[in-house]
Structure 1
């Protein structure tokens, strides 16, 4: 079997001397070759401990971030994704900005066929904010999938009983 995890591609996985970033750092993201680019499949990450700061009050915001994507030639390495998401901890951005940045950074890294990011933030002041953003590659059927999912993503909203 071919070793796809070369030193030049993956530097964080298995590294015991990783330094945790103190602010937003998209340079942490690493990727590796998708050995199955001929197959369309979803990869989903759930980050139930995402934190960022309100850019106005500097109070912490807590969320579960859901990332789903259909890879093309590259996959994101999960430890680098974890450190990248951790880098928002001291970063001040509105919820909507956080999910858009996450999606755009992953598009720049991976050039996926399709991607969506959904932030489910805990309420502050009695209201929760759940921004959803997606993208499909131009010139592919995934562009139409993105439009369909965006138009229909919340037709059956969840009952908010756990927040």
Structure 2
């Protein structure tokens, strides 16, 4: 079994780059993709970002969340370091929790054109309440659209005990 060659990694510039710049303003242009070597198979890719931060658009106070991104790629996959830097770019971005999760889904959907994608923000409480927005999308007219509808209807039927936030 052989690994990827430089041509297959064309466009991946952040991985291994020691001069990484951290952006403090939302920037989807930082996202990079690479070719899925197994487009013939459904593969679920899951990312956990337990240190996501954005700002409340009204108060400017920080909001913290564990953001979970799960997708089934088609031809392209998101490069993880670029995803980390992209999520970090929300640090000074002022938007409501629900908007942030929709923006992330929309940016990744446009970037990769996946078969299926979902984004779930599990925010820490502020003012005694936590907000956990969940958004998803499945390729229309396919089993992935059916999957998206099913997962949305059955999302969080058995929520976890919230004792660590």
Aligned to 1:3: 4
5+ residue gaps in structure 1? none
Aligned to 1:38: 40
Q: Please list, as runs of the form range in 1=range in 2, the aligned pairs for 1:1-163 lying within 5 A after superposition.
A: 1=2, 3-6=4-7, 8-163=10-165
Q: Output the aligned Cα RMSD.
A: 1.1
How many residues end up aligned between the 2 structures? 163
Alpha carbons 2:10, 2:34 under 8 Å: kept:
no
Output one character per residue of 1:3-44: Cα deviation in whole Å (capped at 9) or x when no partner. 355464101011111211120000000000000000001000
Alpha carbons 1:5, 1:32 under 8 Å: kept:
no
Question: For 1:93, what is the secondary structure of its paired residue?
Answer: coil
Q: Distance in 2 between matches of 1:5 and 1:59?
A: 43
Offset, 1:138 = 1.0
5+ residue gaps in structure 2? none
Offset, 1:159 = 1.3
Q: Distance in 1 between matches of 2:158 and 2:6?
A: 41
Offset, 1:140 = 1.1
Q: Distance in 2 between matches of 1:146 and 1:72?
A: 16
Q: Which moved more, 1:151-160 or 1:40-49?
A: 151-160
